[in-house]
Amino acid sequence: MLWIAVHLPLLSLESFASTLGAEQQGQPLALLADHRIATLDAKAAGAGIKPGHKRATALALAPTLVLGEADPLRDALELQAAGHAALAFTPSVALQEDGHGVLLEVQASLRYFGGLQRLLQRLKAALQPLGHALQVATAPTALGALLLARWQAGFEFGRHTTDLKALAQRLDGVPVWLLGPGREHWEALQGMGLHTLGDLRSLPRSGVARRFSPGLLQDLDRAYGLQPQPSAWISLPPVFDSRLELFARADTTEQVLYGAAVLLRRLVAWAQAQHARVGRFLLRMHHEPRHREGRSVAEQSTLEVALAEPSADAEHLQLLLRERLANAVLAAPTLELSLHCSQVVKGAPPNNELFPTPRSEREGFTRLIERLQARLGREQVQQLRLKSDHRPECSGVLAPMQPTPTESGCLGRSIAAADLRAHISRPVWLLPEPEPLPERQFKPLLDGQPLQLLSGPERIETGWWDGALAQRDYFIAAGPDGALVWIYRDRLPTALDDDDAGSGWYLQGRFG
């Protein structure tokens, strides 16, 4: 077996930072637990703040310090998103919430991804959009890989090994407090001069078992591969639902968008874990209760974003959401955001292309339509669709633009090939109303010049069912300057018709 351990050393701070607005970015950060500093970033440490300081002491040292409460649930949601990203590489993924780690068993995946190094590169690229600092290690045992990933000094010796003997040599230098039971007995172990796992292994096992908890030897054996380590594999939920509590209330849509970007990154990780793309998602904005009292304001506002072409690009999803939010007005300040998605399209995404192709051009057109629909509304972006009617003024109808994945955003795909061939002899540009044409010696005139009939007649007799009967003979004609026009004449008289029937010429359209 081969395990990859991904340790997120700053997960608590990073999950807290994701709830902040743009105005708090760049300030020193720290988290409180039991009214004392539990975790802090480098800027806060540079100001002289240390773990264990009280709130007042920390603020005295750094007046611009941004303080938050440690929240295990918030950390768990961020760690879950990292686990979803890892599921794209193997179904055997386990979370180590107490150690802020993700474990992957990848022995069966190495050949598919082209070896360990290629797999590690792709794994880091998949985790990078989540914005976490990563420490990655590989080992034949799960706990051994996790210990190497968490060990800062492990960089000096290399964190990647596939051999149990080499693993044992590296683990001997790992501090004993990195083991869970080792932290419980750290003072006693330190008093006995036991600082590393190698020091602990040198003692008689019977004596260690009597002096310390059985879990210490059990974890030691699991790290060195002497005992198996049971793992609880995570599974992907069929529907995506994630929630984010904002650090400060959002009064503008720009503040909402900043928090929604975090949820969109989680959504993309969930979609990519099942090799799918997002087709539609819902953003819910949960409003502050005291601003709803005495007002007819709903508890939450919902914004729906539907994509013409399914996508797993977080930047593209955020761009569409920005367009929708630009036209939205917050009913009340927002305290929490939640994102819901149940509509995905499974399957491999389109291949990347070195040079532009018709497919990539259609994809660009589709994304343009998506942005227009997000900004103006779906009903405001329309396309001309053919209708089964031979009368030119009735053969096209405006309808909301609805490109589908099979259409790839191409407007012309809404017209069947057979219909296109049938209408190729008709001009694209039609007049709003047919324009009467004078005639001279039975020849129609345009701008005072006679037209030369080139082809026709094409007879149309239809519309008897709706009271708009059309009996026409259409011709393609050319003017003196060579411009082609489309004209018609009321149905030519027959021996049974009145002598005055069908004497008028009309201009219907022009060829471009």
Residue 447 or 359, more confident: 447
341-365: burial string, b at 16+ Cβ within 10 Å, e else: beebbeeeeeeeeeeeeeeeebbeb
| Torsion angles phi and psi, residue 249, rounded to 5 | -65, 145
The pLDDT of residue 158: 61
Lowest-confidence region among 6-20, 133-147, 415-429: 415-429
Q: How is residue 457 written in tokens? A: 């007649």
Lowest-confidence region among 155-169, 275-289, 340-354, 414-428: 414-428
Bridge partners, 61 (sequence order)? none
The pLDDT of residue 347: 72
Q: How is residue 469 written in tokens? A: 């009967």
Structural domains of the chain ordered from first start: 3-27+65-224 (no CATH), 240-349 (3.30.1490.100), 361-424 (no CATH), 429-510 (no CATH)
The pLDDT of residue 297: 67
The pLDDT of residue 312: 86
pLDDT digits (tens, 9 = 90+) for 303-350: 888 887 788 888 888 888 888 888 777 778 888 999 999 888 887 655
**Three-state SS for 386?**
strand
Does 445 have pLDDT greater than 80?
yes
pLDDT digits (tens, 9 = 90+) for 100-124: 899 999 999 999 999 999 999 999 9
Handedness of CA 267, 272, 275, 279 (dihedral sign): positive
Residue 511: pLDDT band (50, 70, 90) is confident
Lowest-confidence region among 3-7, 75-79, 357-361: 357-361
| Beta-carbon contacts of residue 22 (< 8 Å; ≥ 6 apart) | 255, 258
Does 89 have pLDDT greater than 90?
yes
Does 88 have pLDDT greater than 50?
yes
The pLDDT of residue 406: 39
The pLDDT of residue 319: 87
Q: Are 366 and 409 in contact (CB under 8 A)?
A: yes
Give the mean pLDDT of the chain. 81
Lowest-confidence region among 7-16, 178-187, 428-437, 478-487: 178-187
Q: How is residue 120 written in tokens? A: 């590690």
Residue 141: pLDDT band (50, 70, 90) is very high
d(CA 413, CA 416): 7
d(CA 269, CA 38): 29
The pLDDT of residue 12: 92
The pLDDT of residue 182: 60
Q: Widest CA span of the chain, in angstroms?
A: 123
The H or E element spanning position 237 is none
d(CA 147, CA 180): 11
- Please tell me the chain's helix, strand, coil percentages from 3-state DSSP, rounded to the nearest 5: 40, 30, 35
d(CA 187, CA 434): 96
Residue 91: pLDDT band (50, 70, 90) is very high
State which amino acid sits at residue 418.
Answer: A
Handedness of CA 270, 274, 277, 281 (dihedral sign): negative
pLDDT digits (tens, 9 = 90+) for 240-270: 999 999 888 888 888 888 889 999 999 999 9
Instruction: Identify which of 49, 50, 70, 45 has the alpha carbon closest to the alpha carbon of residue 60.
Output: 49
d(CA 132, CA 7): 10
Does 61 have pLDDT greater than 90?
yes
d(CA 356, CA 348): 20
Does 411 have pLDDT greater than 70?
no
The pLDDT of residue 483: 87
Mean pLDDT over 445-450 rounds to 87
Mean pLDDT over 206-220 rounds to 81
Q: What is the DSSP string of 109-156?
A: GHHHHTSHHHHHHHHHHHHGGGT---EEEEESSHHHHHHHHH-GGGGG
The H or E element spanning position 503 is none
Instruction: Name the DSSP letter for residue 176.
Output: G
Residue 158 or 13, more confident: 13
The pLDDT of residue 59: 93
Give the global pTM.
Answer: 0.70
Bridge partners, 306 (sequence order)? 280
Residue 470 CA: distances (Å) to CA of 156, 216, 442, 475, 491: 87, 93, 21, 15, 9
d(CA 241, CA 269): 13
Angle (CA) 211-213-219 rounded to 5° is: 120
The pLDDT of residue 424: 53
Q: How is residue 331 written in tokens? A: 């009913």
Residue 365: pLDDT band (50, 70, 90) is low
Mean pLDDT over 35-63 rounds to 92
Instruction: Identify which of 424, 420, 416, 413 has the alpha carbon closest to the alpha carbon of residue 365.
Output: 413
Does 188 have pLDDT greater than 50?
yes
The pLDDT of residue 44: 92
Residue 21 or 494, more confident: 21
Instruction: Identify which of 71, 69, 76, 65 has the alpha carbon closest to the alpha carbon of residue 8.
Output: 76
As to burial, measured by CB atoms within 10 angstroms (0-12 exposed, 13-18 middle, 19+ buried), residue 443 is middle
State which amino acid sits at residue 484.
Answer: L
